[in-house]
Structure 1
Amino acid sequence: TMLRLRLLTWDVKDTLLRLRHPIGENYSALAQVHGVQVRPEALTKSFHQAYKVQSKHFPNYGLSKGLSSKQWWADVVKQTFRLAGVHEDRLLTSIAESLYREYCSAQTWELLPGARETLGQCRQLGIRMAVISNFDMRLEKILSHCNLRHHFDFVLTSEEAGFAKPDLRIFQRALHISGVAPQQAAHVGDSYVKDYRAARDAGMHSFLLTAAGCANRWEREVPKEHVLPSLTHLLSVIGKG
């Protein structure tokens, strides 16, 4: 059966855009500009630790606890460096502010293979597109800087929605904004739980982008025709559904 889609929603990080360099390398290079030497491996390790704790105590950028996403990220950055042995507070504040700006710039991100072509072709098919992403409000700017923003009717971040995927309400909000029924919408993302499963639970179609040839533990749960080995693959399945 042809899948008559009116709306296609997209995850961004690791679906359309990815970091050009590992986080530890970014953090280490920026610390060096501030005159601090810390090994990238140490920062990668401490970042994952800091991020995990912060996400647990203050989910979705701590919005319900009165934090701003900027403050949330500053706390993660400072704690990352503290765990790696850097403690001078004024220095940590400067590093956090520089990193917050740097993550907005196109230099920090790169497009996944096939992203630009696939978005262009979907638009030519007349399908409306939007973003549903667990991201903070910098996402609009990042998409503009990477020259992707014009493809989308709207960008819905978890910060703006007040809910983060896999919460169904962020998908429902997107459907409500676009006035499209879930059965006429599909979502594309790289997370089984937050993208594939959640969109299906919201009544939408969905496709799971997997790193090429990367077998994962969800394989049995996802029908082959819902798996995208690459973004360019989407056009061959959108017609068949």
Structure 2
Amino acid sequence: MRGPLRWVLWDVKDTLLKVRASVGEQYCREAERMGLDLNHTEVNTAFLKAYRHFSSQFPNYGVSQGLDGQAWWKGVVWDTLFQCRVQDPALLNTLAHKLYHNFSSADNWEIFPDAERTLRSCSSLGLKLGVVSNFDRRLEGILHACGLLSHFSFLVTSEEVGKAKPDPFIFEQALQKCGVPAASVAHIGDHYINDYVASRSAGINGFLLDRQNIHKQPDVPPEHRLNSLDELPSRLQQLMD
């Protein structure tokens, strides 16, 4: 039997926040400050290749292989810019350091218009909020810089716990912090596998945020699908009755 809803867990990237400009544009902007003239389309292509390579060879920021988020992301920057013919090690080190810290700033992130009012609405219902994110250790600083950190009782990041969604371990860690059964917890995210399927598999009330109406999976009923976070509070109220 389902217990009353007590907690709401949140994905962050592309659910509450999104990158303000493309990675290519942001890398090129920083490179220009160092006297380099790069093409943002070429940089974007190189970044995607580097990101896929590092994600495959060093999953979850390489934590199990002795890396951390900062070393992992610096490697991605090195690989990206090296593909674009930037080969000076000192210059690559400087750019990697600057770009890693740039993405900790609110300047590089945009809050979705429906995010903060939905977080407030959920809190006003008496629900507690937490974060479960495949992010590195910068997440707390990013949420603080964006003015969202105070909404959450805890953050669980994949770098911190050593496992990434859809691994059930990261949801188990969040449930321990909630201190209630999975049936008393909801989770909201934009990724079909990592957020919706994984949370549902853990017994959590998962909702799939589909702002662009691109997810066509038949196993997501309409009542589990959100086109906007504004739809969420009424759905949660139904689980509280």
Instruction: Report the TM-score range of the alignment, normalised by the length of the smaller protein.
Output: over 0.9
Q: Which runs of 4+ in 1 moved over 4 A?
A: none
1:60 paired residue number: 60
Relative to structure 1, is the Cα distance of residues 3 and 232 closer, same or farther in structure 2, using a 3 angstrom cutoff? farther
Q: CA deviation digits over 1:16-68, x for unaligned, max 9?
A: 00011011111111110111111110011000000000010100000110012
Q: Which runs of 5+ in 1 are unaligned?
A: none
2:235 paired residue number: 237
Contact 1:3/1:238 (<8 A) preserved? no
Measure the CA separation in 2 of the matches of 1:159 and 1:124. 31
Contact 2:46/2:80 (<8 A) preserved? yes
2:75 paired residue number: 75
Measure the CA separation in 1 of the matches of 2:195 and 2:215. 15
Paired residues for 1:119-134 under 5 Å: 119-134=119-134
Measure the CA separation in 1 of the matches of 2:82 and 2:70. 18
Paired residues for 1:1-241 under 5 Å: 4-212=4-212, 214-218=213-217, 220-241=218-239
Measure the CA separation in 1 of the matches of 2:181 and 2:129. 14
1:177 positional shift = 1.4
Matched-pair identity in %: 43
Q: Which amino acid aligns with 1:142?
A: I
- Aligned residues between the structures: 239
Q: Which amino acid aligns with 1:226?
A: H
Contact 2:68/2:159 (<8 A) preserved? no
Measure the CA separation in 2 of the matches of 1:98 and 1:128. 35
1:238 positional shift = 1.2
Secondary structure of the equivalent of 1:44?
Answer: helix
1:113 positional shift = 2.0
Aligned-pair RMSD on alpha carbons? 1.4
Q: Which amino acid aligns with 1:216?
A: H
Q: Which amino acid aligns with 2:220?
A: V
Contact 2:3/2:183 (<8 A) preserved? no
Secondary structure of the equivalent of 1:207?
Answer: strand
Measure the CA separation in 2 of the matches of 1:5 and 1:18. 28
Contact 1:113/1:231 (<8 A) preserved? no
Q: Which amino acid aligns with 1:115?
A: A
1:217 positional shift = 3.6
Measure the CA separation in 2 of the matches of 1:162 and 1:68. 10
Measure the CA separation in 2 of the matches of 1:74 and 1:223. 41
Measure the CA separation in 1 of the matches of 2:55 and 2:114. 31
1:3 positional shift = 8.0
